[in-house]
Amino acid sequence: MATATATRPAAVASASLACRRRRGAREDARRRRCRRSASRDLLFGKASRDDDDASDDADAASNAVATTTPSDASPSPSSLESSFPHDERGVRFAIGDAFYRRESAQARDLAVLLSRTLASPPRVLDAMSGCGVRAARYLTQGNVAFVHANDANPAVTRTIRANIESAVRAADADADDDARAAATATRRQHAVTCEDARDVFAASASKSAFDVVDVDSFGSADFVDAALRCVRAPGHLYLTSSDGLALSGKNPARCAAAYGGAAIAPNVPGVNEHGLRVLIGHAVRVARDRGLRATPAFSLFHPHGPLFRVMLRIEREVEGTGDEDEENGGGADVTLLRTEDDDKVGWIGQCARCGDARVVRADERLGADSAPCRRCAAAGAGAEAPPLAISGPMWLGPLHDRATVDAMRREAEILSWATTGDADEDKAARGKTKRQLSLSRLLDAFALESDARLPPFHHRTDELTRRGRCVSASVSGGHVGDARGFDRGRGRGRGAPPIDRWVEALRDLGRVACRTHVDPRGLATDAGLDDIAVAAARAWEGR
């Protein structure tokens, strides 16, 4: 009896706990349904709530909120600095519990500039908003029609909302009456949600709700297919990878899993460009499977992280030769044949012996002795010519679109982001990371790298001068005379000439050449190694 009496309260307590858990699960499910419904309503204009009313509701603070911010409550500079201690291109913000990387401000600069170049104010999805500074900058600097700021972390929702409100109020306080009136119809239109990014993509997929989708993801998480579903073509998708191990070939399993079976040869010169091109190539292939054409508007590698980012222009693939298509704009300019970019995704091979690199055909990749180095074979190695280290599939076309880059440069000058007088602010925006170019120099590099005549790889000047890969030769009639290698060892021989002089010497030979933003020692050129050697000798001789 004593035992039965003792176990009865325990059984009752257990049943009560189970009941509470079931009620809690039902309540959680109800709240998730409400959040999804609110998110859909906000995305498609079915509901609108004033943020002042929403702030009174504790549940609404962590769910979707559409905000219309009054402009008559302009904060004082002192209150802004105390409540929002951080500054990025004039937008003050707080970080709170969110992740924030100062060095990525330049990637946000580029996104804002791209947004400003579009023909009509875009609808923007910031799928992983962090602290919300990116969404705030889109709203106040990007000439947008609507911004949806989302982050799955409920701890940062209030921070995102506060940063957006502060940025909009500060921008309105600095604007004249006409600009403030225009802002009422554009940059005040925004929503803040706390959802998994894939749920947001799915909620907006049926109507392709956004002109720009910004996915600032962590690691090598693959959101390409899900994000493409909500891009309104023609539109833009801004992708991210921070998985340096996968995109440098040092984690081949993860690289293959995340990027559609791609492989990257590790420890080869220019491997970071290979990683950037593999990211682009993966997105291009996924888009093609969905009947879309993806091409890079601009691509960015930053050494911090490292960080790989690409802004893709998304267009519908229409087979034909010029039939009108009202939905997609009509005419030959939207007639994009599937075969047009088939040759722009492929493989690159590099020789570990001589340093030569070339595009590798698909049939050359078959077999253990595939894709030998042609340069070594021509030099007499014959059957012993080493096989190339192959990376791909990757994007083989230009990393940037020249017209887009030129338009971004004009917008940067309008905003005084690319002028000499703005050097201090630009330095602050770049953070303390070494090897990060100023915005002006970065846009200059983009413009030069957009030349379609350049190959899909670059050389490192230090690698060119190692192991006799480049020659310090006497030049006779424009040909290599005495093909002696650079002396090896620090302080012995002349080594590599200054890279800018080397570039000019290559151009004097009629070659396309430029520095690359991917690597401070990177030399991009359509010249072969022999011409590169001739140019090196001429650069030293001042010819």
Residue 166 belongs to a domain: yes
Q: From the centroid of its chain, how far is CA 278?
A: 13
Last residue in a domain, options 262, 293, 317: 317
Last residue in a domain, options 317, 343, 368: 317
CATH code of the domain covering residue 532: 3.30.56.70
Residue 424 belongs to a domain: no
Q: Is 90 in the same domain as 239? A: yes
Residue 128 belongs to a domain: yes
Q: What is the pLDDT of residue 466?
A: 78
Q: Cα(386)–Cα(378) distance, rounded to whole angstroms?
A: 12
Residue 444 belongs to a domain: no
Residue 363 belongs to a domain: no
Q: Cα(114)–Cα(117) distance, rounded to whole angstroms?
A: 5
Residue 484 tokens read as 């002696």
pLDDT digits (tens, 9 = 90+) for 349-389: 999 888 999 999 887 876 555 788 988 888 875 567 888 99
Domains: count for the chain: 2
Q: Cα(228)–Cα(208) distance, rounded to whole angstroms?
A: 9
Q: Cα(482)–Cα(395) distance, rounded to whole angstroms?
A: 38
Q: What is the pLDDT of residue 430?
A: 54
Q: Cα(71)–Cα(53) distance, rounded to whole angstroms?
A: 16
Give, for all 543 residues of the chain, the pLDDT tens digit: 444 444 455 554 566 666 656 666 665 665 555 555 444 444 444 333 333 333 333 233 333 334 434 444 455 555 556 688 899 999 999 999 999 999 999 999 999 999 999 999 999 999 999 999 999 999 999 999 999 999 999 999 999 999 999 999 998 887 665 555 555 555 469 999 999 999 999 999 887 789 999 999 988 778 999 999 999 999 999 999 999 999 999 999 999 999 999 999 999 999 999 999 999 999 999 999 999 999 999 999 998 889 999 999 999 986 544 444 444 444 334 444 444 566 799 999 999 888 999 999 887 876 555 788 988 888 875 567 888 999 999 999 999 999 999 999 999 999 999 875 455 556 655 555 666 899 999 999 999 999 999 999 999 999 998 755 554 433 333 333 333 434 443 334 567 899 999 999 999 999 999 999 999 999 999 999 999 999 999 998 875
Residue 435 belongs to a domain: no
Percent of the chain with pLDDT over 70: 68
Last residue in a domain, options 317, 340, 365: 317
Q: Strand, helix or coil at 284?
A: helix
Residue 376 belongs to a domain: no
Q: What is the pLDDT of residue 242?
A: 94
3-state secondary structure 329-396: CCCHHHCCCHHHHHHHEEEEEECCCCCCEEEECHHHHCCCCCCECHHHHHHHHHHHCCECEEEEEEEC
φ, ψ at 149 (rounded to 5°): -100, 120
Residue 520 belongs to a domain: yes
Q: Cα(508)–Cα(291) distance, rounded to whole angstroms?
A: 44
Pairing, β 190-193 against β 210-214: unpaired
Residue 61 tokens read as 């603070």
* 497 prior amide bond cis, ω within 30: no
Q: What is the pLDDT of residue 25?
A: 66
CATH code of the domain covering residue 60: 3.40.50.150
Range of the domain at 285: 55-317
Neighbours of 74 (CB within 10 A): 12
Report yes or no: 328 and 234 within 8 Å, Cβ to Cβ.
Answer: yes
3-state secondary structure 31-83: HHHHHHHHHHHHHCCCCCCCHHHHCCCCCHHHCCEEECCCCCCCCCHHHHHHH
Report yes or no: 253 and 380 within 8 Å, Cβ to Cβ.
Answer: no
Q: Cα(91)–Cα(105) distance, rounded to whole angstroms?
A: 11
